[in-house]
């Protein structure tokens, strides 16, 4: 009787040592190898192989313990899960184990990748080289994780109750260890992916060719810069550490702050509304003040980064300096609205301004006047001195007229030697006084280099809205008054209808 208990006790000690090595394994691969090594060392088999159930439903053999030829034949083997199902249809259930006797499986279904080099036994109960014994490995929740297969019992016989119990016990503990190792491996992979993602983000953030900023999001909108790259520091003129003590609104020019605050409110509102995902993205162009005090235009694209629950974690700003484009557009607009010779407003710009003034005068009690100015004696300048001198005279005349008007008035050139002044909020007496000043300014000879030009000006005045309610009518009336002034002897002015 004493000997019957000695064998299991020795086996249990070997089993616990093997399980201890499984528990100390650090990685999934180490755990798999510890399992198969534990079967060989602690349960009494010469060969053990462990196949993992992959996410695609295939079993892949990742760990083998035993002779070299067995490892070479079995490692890396991949087979579908139904391969085991076919074998198990002929198996004998030994508790949780499945024993497939060699004489039950039809030859056409027998797929053996490795056969131990032993002769088929003659005595009953001996292990046959084509016998197969499997122990499915399950997680604690019952999920199938893999398949442990064993071969060549050391005593050469089919396992009895004690050895089966040991293998089943080992498989149960190995399933738990495998589940824990798989979870730990997944966590490590997730951490590595996260670390790689964070490093990729850092490299992209810091090395971006545009300004980048992570911005804290408060209840009312952007609170402060959390992180900025060097490109943003170059754009703003502030050092990176200075920016991280500032709020985005500190950079916004005063005239754009209200619009920026409204954008922030819309951004937070879109985040609160949830999908679609692109709702929490805003692109706009806004004026900023640099550290030196000069103004710049920037294009800012703000993306709200959310947590898994949908809450706002922070905002990510991409900032481009678009000052040069704005200056170029402003220059193109200026040229499109400006007379190229004199720099005054051109015909289109003048008409636009006069139309706006007339609109205001018809909807309120505002008044204004149009002064149509035509140079006297300019044809003689062109005939006697040439067009180059004529152009210089036109520029000088334009400068003298512009010098006599208010900043709120507009002076334009219709073409040739015809100029128009649009003056808002004046009555007839004010318009006459302005005409007198312009006439006096042009009464003085225009002298430059060795040339002298004696030109004067005839001015026609039309006061609106009394003397015209649309641009064409008002200009025609002022033109009529101008011809009346010329007929009176030139170097004079006349008021339409007087």
The Cα 263–Cα 253 span in angstroms is 15
Active site residue 417: yes
The Cα 104–Cα 135 span in angstroms is 19
β-pair partners for 282? 302
**Among 131, 151, 321, 417, which one carries the catalytic annotation?**
417
CA angle 463, 467, 469 (to 5 degrees): 105
Which of 412, 393, 384, 401 shows the shortest CA–CA distance to 475? 412
Q: Are strands 493-495 and 456-464 parallel, antiparallel or unpaired?
A: parallel
Torsion of CA 263, 269, 273, 274, to 10 degrees: 60
| SS3 of the chain | CHHHHHHHHHHHHHHHHHHHHHHHCCCHHHHHHHHHHHHHHHHCEEEEEEEEECCCCEEEEEEEECCHHHHHHHCCCEEECHHHHHHHCCCEEECCEEEECCCCCCHHHCCCCCCCCCCCCCCCCECCCCCEEEEEEECCCCCEEEEEEEEEECCCECCCHHHHHHHHHHHHHHHHHHHHHHHHHHHHHHHHHHHHHHHHHHHHHHHCCCEEEEEEEECCEEEEEEEECHHHHHHHCCCHHHHCCCCHHHCECHHHHHHHHHHHHHHHHHHHHCCCHHHHEEEEEEEEECCCCCEEEEEEEEEEEECCCCCEEEEEEEEEECHHHHHHHHHHHHHHHECCCCCCECHHHHHHHHHHHHHHHHHCCCCEEEEEEEEECHHHHHHHHCHHHHHHHHHHHHHHHHHHCCCCCEEEEEECCEEEEEEECCCHHHHHHHHHHHHHHHHCCEEECCEEECCEEEEEEEEECCCCCCHHHHHHHHHHHHHHHHHCCCCCEEECCC
Those residues with Cβ within 8 angstroms of residue 488's Cβ, 6 or more apart along the chain or in another chain: 494
Distance in angstroms between the alpha carbons of the first and the last residue of the chain: 143
The Cα 400–Cα 455 span in angstroms is 12
Known catalytic residues?
A: 417
């Amino acid at each position: 009787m004493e000997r019957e208990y000695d064998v299991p006790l020795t086996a249990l000690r070997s089993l616990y040592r093997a399980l201890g090595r499984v528990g100390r394994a650090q990685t999934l691969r180490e755990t798999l190898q510890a399992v198969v090594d534990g079967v060989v060392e602690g349960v009494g088999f010469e060969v053990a192989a462990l196949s993992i159930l992959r996410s695609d439903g295939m079993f892949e053999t990742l760990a083998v313990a035993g002779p070299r030829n067995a490892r070479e034949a079995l490692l890396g083997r991949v087979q579908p899960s139904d391969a085991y199902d076919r074998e198990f249809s002929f198996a004998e259930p030994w508790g949780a184990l499945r024993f497939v006797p060699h004489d039950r499986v039809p030859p056409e279904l027998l797929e053996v990748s490795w056969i131990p080099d032993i002769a088929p036994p003659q005595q009953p109960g001996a292990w046959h080289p084509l016998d197969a014994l499997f122990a499915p490995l399950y997680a604690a929740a019952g999920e199938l994780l893999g398949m442990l297969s064993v071969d060549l019992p050391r005593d050469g016989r089919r396992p009895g109750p004690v050895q089966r119990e040991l293998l089943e016990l080992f498989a149960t503990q190995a399933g738990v260890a495998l589940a824990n190792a798989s979870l730990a491996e997944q966590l490590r992979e997730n951490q590595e992916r996260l670390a790689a993602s964070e490093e990729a983000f850092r490299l992209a953030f810091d090395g971006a060719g545009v300004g980048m900023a992570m911005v804290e999001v408060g209840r009312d909108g952007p609170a402060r810069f959390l992180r900025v790259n060097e490109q943003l520091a170059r754009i703003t003129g502030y050092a990176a550490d200075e920016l991280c003590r500032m709020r985005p609104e500190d950079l916004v020019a005063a005239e754009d702050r209200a619009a920026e605050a409204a954008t922030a409110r819309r951004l937070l509102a879109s985040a609160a509304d949830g999908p679609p995902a692109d709702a929490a993205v805003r692109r706009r162009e806004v004026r900023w003040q640099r550290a030196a005090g000069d103004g710049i235009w920037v294009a800012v694209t703000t993306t709200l980064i959310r947590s898994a629950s949908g809450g706002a974690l922070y905002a990510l700003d991409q900032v481009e300096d678009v000052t040069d484009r704005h200056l170029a557009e402003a220059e193109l607009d200026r040229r499109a609205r400006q007379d190229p010779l004199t720099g005054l407003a051109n015909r289109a710009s003048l008409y636009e301004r006069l139309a706006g003034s007339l609109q205001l005068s018809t909807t309120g009690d505002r008044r204004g006047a149009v002064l149509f100015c035509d140079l006297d004696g300019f044809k003689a300048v062109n005939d006697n001195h040439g067009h180059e001198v004529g152009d210089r005279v036109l520029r000088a005349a334009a400068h003298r007229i512009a010098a006599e008007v208010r900043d709120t008035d507009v002076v334009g050139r219709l073409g040739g030697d015809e100029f128009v002044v649009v003056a808002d909020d004046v009555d007839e007496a004010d318009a006459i006084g302005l005409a007198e000043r312009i006439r006096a300014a042009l009464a003085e000879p225009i002298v430059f280099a060795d040339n002298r030009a004696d030109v004067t000006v005839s001015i026609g005045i039309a006061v609106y809205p009394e003397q015209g309610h649309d641009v064409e009518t008002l200009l025609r009336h002022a033109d009529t008054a101008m011809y009346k002034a010329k007929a009176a002897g030139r170097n004079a002015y006349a008021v339409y209808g007087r």
